Amino acid sequence: MDKRWILKQADEALVSVLTKKLQVSPLIARLLVNRGLTEPGAAEKFLSSSLRSDLPSPSLMAGMDEAVARLATALDGKEQICVWGDYDVDGTTGAATLVSFLKEAGARASYYVPHRINEGYGLNVAGMKELAGGGVSLVVTVDCGISNATEVAAARELGIDTIVVDHHELPAKLPPAVAIINPHRSDCRFPDKGLSGAGLAFYLVMALRAKLRDSGWFGGGGAKSPEGEKPRGGLAPVRGASPLYGVPDVRRCLDIVTLGTIADMVPLRGVNRVLVRRGLVELGGSTRPGIVALKRVAGIAPGEVGVGQVAFRLGPRINAAGRMDAGLKVVEMLTTDSEEVALRIAQELDADNRERREMEARVLAEALSTCNGDGFLQDRYSVVVGQEGWHPGVLGIVASRLTERFYRPTVVVGFRAGEGKGSARSIRGFHLVEGFGRCADLLEKYGGHEYAAGLTIREEKFPLFRDRFEEIARAGLRSEDLIPALEIDSELEFSAMGFPLMRELDGLRPFGVGNPEPLFLTRSVEVTRRRDFNGGTRVKLRQGSRSFDAVMFDDHRGSTGDPGREPAPRLVPGAKIDLVYRLSENEWNGTRSVELRLVDARNST
């Protein structure tokens, strides 16, 4: 698939101001302006990202005071508290964050994570009945609950109060909870709307810690948690909490919070950036048995951990539990004090992830077979596919793969006994939840975000939905919106590259959603050497007197994006090309060098 190259044009006056005020190079100033950081104060805060000075107060979050007051009452009254987390990586890490703190605070706490296949997303009445039977009087949701008005009302009838902690978009009818923490509330003064469920759980922990500290709760130690037998189903008691003699350091939770924040692909700007920047340090040096075991099975050596390692090695293993088995064990792994238990669960997650990859490959192949059928995608603005037996745990990943390949809003549905559960991913310019809202009469339920969402649909309504969704996509998108764009930050000459530039770029890390790794353009580069390997091509490139190694993987060897066709242009010695790339550091045989990771290439004109 051809790509549009869009070279961003930064206001040079703003670039000059930031260069002087912040004492940075014009290139770094240009990258800051390209990210919308045009005010010196905001740009300086972005570069510093201090945990102490750059986090907004939890009290700005609507519902926070009510939630903290109810939790403090529950602790004081030795009530049984249950943290109900979603089964994905954001929900399980958020639940583990809250459970870990409640354990340190001496709460009578348990956790519940519904089974994706048997129970589905969000709260359910059967689970609430089980909790009520076990003596639970307060449920705190994490990464779910905002669309569960019926279930929260049922819980209230059972004598259970509910605190909803959720970052998904608000439905028309809010649940009758004692407190709702969601930054999308119209009355919420919190300045950052992009927190993950794990980030919201951390903010609740910060606020509760402050409340308990100010009330003297930690002065003489808290109560012990019960050691009772594990109830059936998703409920699991927190074990082994001991009396406290000091105020818990909430920064220790940031290793778990960082896992959820990065893996949930929320923007790494604002609060998320602050949390992740410090959290990566905590993650790298964590002694938490669950983190140590997870890094071990993922092949990550002790020490520094990067965003890519979280996104592509740690996060998928956590997510695999909820996709293929039970997300409950993720919370157990992240909250246990036993190295043996942690390693056993981490190994199970690793096996779940291998099974997930195999299942994903099969479903993707079948979906591609449908998409590649005669005329299926001809003149279409959307991709909507469904089939009996597709495992719901891999539909989101398959939807992402199809979106990357065809660059259209994509819905993938798996049917079972007449009911379809689906996941969707979108492209720039098309809001999934708004699109689903215009199909609401055909759906059993739906929810999510602008770029990622889920739905439930009856099989007999699927053909109507596919046609309606296509009409909505066609009305909302232009033909040029279906061509992926490479937004290039700046032109760069080989003469400017080197380790001093790499150290400057380090100040912009961590890179991720909302703060993408800079893309550079260099024109008229000569290919002097080429070597193919399994999965891509390595080349030596020269401009003037400077030469650098570069790597281009199969998906990006040519602007066609079609592995069945000869890449264009040919990366052969003697070719003159224009390059779009990212910069990285490579180490080989003890020697470090700057390397280009090619994203696209064209013949020089």
In a domain, 457, yes or no: yes
pLDDT at 335: 96
* 180-184, 437-441, 563-567: segment of lowest average pLDDT: 563-567
Contact yes or no for 154/124 (Cβ under 8 A): no
The pLDDT score that the predictor gives to residue 536 is 87
Q: Among 330, 346, 362, identify where a domain stops.
A: 346
> 590 and 542 share a domain?
yes
Residues 391 and 469 in one domain: yes
Identify the pLDDT of residue 229.
37
Is residue 322 within 8 Å of residue 393, measured between CB atoms?
Answer: yes
The two tokens of residue 257 are: 């919070």
Q: For residue 548, what are the domain limits?
A: 486-603
Residue 493: how many CB atoms within 10 A of its CB? 12
Distance CA 467, CA 298 (A): 42
Are 466 and 534 within one domain? no
Return phi, psi of residue 537, to 5°: -140, 140
Handedness of CA 255, 260, 266, 270 (dihedral sign): negative
Q: Say whether pLDDT at 447 is over 90.
A: no
Mean pLDDT (whole number) for 388-409: 94
pLDDT at site 449? 82
When pLDDT is averaged across residues 421-448 and rounded to a whole number, the result is 94
- Interior angle at CA 352, CA 346 and CA 358, nearest 5: 145
| pLDDT recorded at residue 409 | 97
Q: Does residue 213 share a domain with residue 82?
A: yes
Is 60 exceeded by the pLDDT of residue 581? yes
Please state at what angle helix 197-214 crosses helix 89-104, rounded to 10 degrees: 10
Residues 500, 473 within the same domain = no
Residue 417: CATH number of its domain: 3.10.310.30
In the numeric block, which tokens belong to residue 290?
């669950």
Tokens (6 digits) for 89: 């990586």
Which two three-digit tokens encode residue 125? 């009445």
Q: Which CATH number goes with the domain that contains 567?
A: 2.40.50.460
C-alpha 175/C-alpha 160 separation (Å) is: 13
- C-beta of residue 111 within 8 angstroms of C-beta of residue 329: no
Q: 214, exposed or middle or buried, with CB in 10 Å at 0-12, 13-18, 19+?
A: exposed
Phi, psi torsion values for 370, nearest 5 degrees = -70, -45
Residues 417, 464 within the same domain: yes
Q: How far apart are CA 352 and CA 324, in angstroms?
A: 6
Q: Per-residue confidence at 465, pLDDT binned at 50, 70, 90? A: very high
Whether residues 256 and 332 share a domain: the answer is: yes
Q: What is the mean pLDDT of residues 332-339?
A: 96
Examine residue 101 and state whether it is found in any structural domain, yes or no.
yes
> Which residue matches tokens 């943290």?
83
Question: pLDDT at residue 223 above 70?
Answer: no
425 shares its domain with 491: no
Q: Are 199 and 272 in contact (CB under 8 A)?
A: yes
CB 155, CB 123: distance < 8 Å: yes
Percent of the chain with pLDDT over 70: 92
Express each pLDDT in 55-114 by its tens digit.
999 999 999 999 999 999 999 999 999 999 999 999 999 999 999 999 999 999 999 999
C-alpha to C-alpha distance for 449 and 541, rounded to whole angstroms: 42
Residues 89/313, Cβ–Cβ less than 8 Å = no
Q: Are residues 328 and 401 in the same domain?
A: no
pLDDT at 160: 98
Average pLDDT, integer, range 205-229: 72
Domain identity same for 90 and 209: yes
Joined tokens for residue 34? 């390209």
Among residues 482, 505, 540, which one ends one of the domains?
482
The CATH number of whichever domain residue 291 belongs to comes to: 3.90.1640.30
Say whether both 285 and 153 belong to one domain: yes
**Residue 599 falls within a domain, yes or no?**
yes
Q: Are residues 395 and 525 in the same domain?
A: no
- Mean per-residue pLDDT of the chain: 90
Per-residue pLDDT at 239 exceeds 50? no
pLDDT in tens, 271-325: 999 999 999 999 999 999 999 999 999 999 988 899 999 999 999 999 989 888 7
**Within a domain: 518:** yes
Q: How many residues does the chain have?
A: 605
Q: What is the largest CA-CA distance in the chain?
A: 77
Amino acid identity of residue 151, one-letter, is E
pLDDT (0 to 100) of residue 144: 95
Contacts of 604 (CB under 8 A, 6+ apart): 523, 524, 525, 576, 577, 578
Domain count, the chain: 3
- Domain termination residue (choose one: 329, 346, 363): 346
In a domain, 62, yes or no: yes
Q: Give pLDDT, residue 355.
A: 94
Give residue 535's pLDDT: 81
Q: Hey, how many other C-beta atoms are within 10 angstroms of the C-beta on 588?
A: 9
* pLDDT score, position 187: 96
Answer for the pair 132, 40: CB distance below 8 angstroms, yes or no: no
In a domain, 360, yes or no: no
Model-level pTM?
0.85
Given a cut of 90, is residue 49 above it in pLDDT?
no
In a domain, 32, yes or no: no
Residue 551 belongs to some domain of the structure: yes
pLDDT at 467: 96
The string of DSSP codes covering 392-450 is GGGHHHHHHHHHHHH-S-EEEEEEETTEEEEEEE--TT--HHHHHHTTGGG-SEEEE-S
